[in-house]
Amino acid sequence: MKRLVLIVLGMFFVSCDRHESRSGEEKRQRPWIETKEVDWNEIQFGGEGSAQWSDGVLHLEAGVELTGVKFSGELPEMPYELELDARKEVGSDFFCGLTFPVSSKEECLTLIIGGWGGGTVGVSSIDGMDASENETTTYGNFEEGRWYAVRVVVETGKLSAFIDGKQVVDVATEGRKLGLRPGVIEYCAPMGIAAWQTEAKVRKVRWRSLAD
């Protein structure tokens, strides 16, 4: 009888553990919100190329400087993760400048991929320093015609970014001055995508909450 009671209790606790595990997983796995093409609007930077969607792919033509789009739909709120695929077609500068909100739509940052000659990765701006001069600066070799999976994770006091699953940004943001680099990139706020003198493509832009 004692053995039977122990077995029953063991099954009960295992069941509870599994239930808690499932509940925790459900909390972590919020549904993705797919952005709609109609919510992305071309930005008039001056000297920009065309920015048009076709079959789920945004085609950014090379401009004199920036070419890009601004998002007008529902914005993510911290904590959240945002992801997309980006591809450089032709050019030697950044093919993905992803601007996103941090604590509010007034506080934004830009993840730069392939800037300053084609290889610089980083976040602009932290404490007044842009992606080429703060602690987020790294370098990569980005091939033309290849899709890269980009993911940004925005949390209280922390920012992370990944390219093809490899972490390229891991920076503490608490107590730091966060904001966009002064200039026309500000037209992308609070959420936008741009390329600098480079033809690029973007697809599968989506985000989801990481709140408990």
pLDDT band for position 26 (cuts 50, 70, 90): very low
**Burial letters for 94-114: b for 16+ Cβ neighbours within 10 Å, e otherwise?**
bbbbbbbbbeeeebbbbbbbb
pLDDT at 8 > cutoff 50: no
The terminus-to-terminus CA distance of the chain in angstroms comes to: 42
Rounded Cα–Cα distance for residues 106 and 90 (Å): 33
Q: pLDDT tens for residues 29-41?
A: 799 999 999 999 9
**C-alpha closest to that of 68 among 210, 211, 189:** 189
Is residue 14 very low, low, confident or very high in pLDDT (cuts 50, 70, 90)? Answer: very low
pLDDT digits (tens, 9 = 90+) for 104-148: 999 999 999 999 999 999 999 999 999 999 999 999 999 999 999
Interior angle at CA 47, CA 96 and CA 189, nearest 5: 45
| Arithmetic mean of pLDDT over the chain | 90
Is pLDDT above 90 for 9? no
What pLDDT is recorded for position 4? 43
Structure confidence at residue 11 as a pLDDT band (50, 70, 90):
very low
Query: Per-residue pLDDT for 23 more than 90?
Result: no
Instruction: Give the pTM.
Output: 0.87
Length of the chain: 212
Both tokens of residue 90?
A: 């032709």
- What was the pLDDT predicted at 28? 57
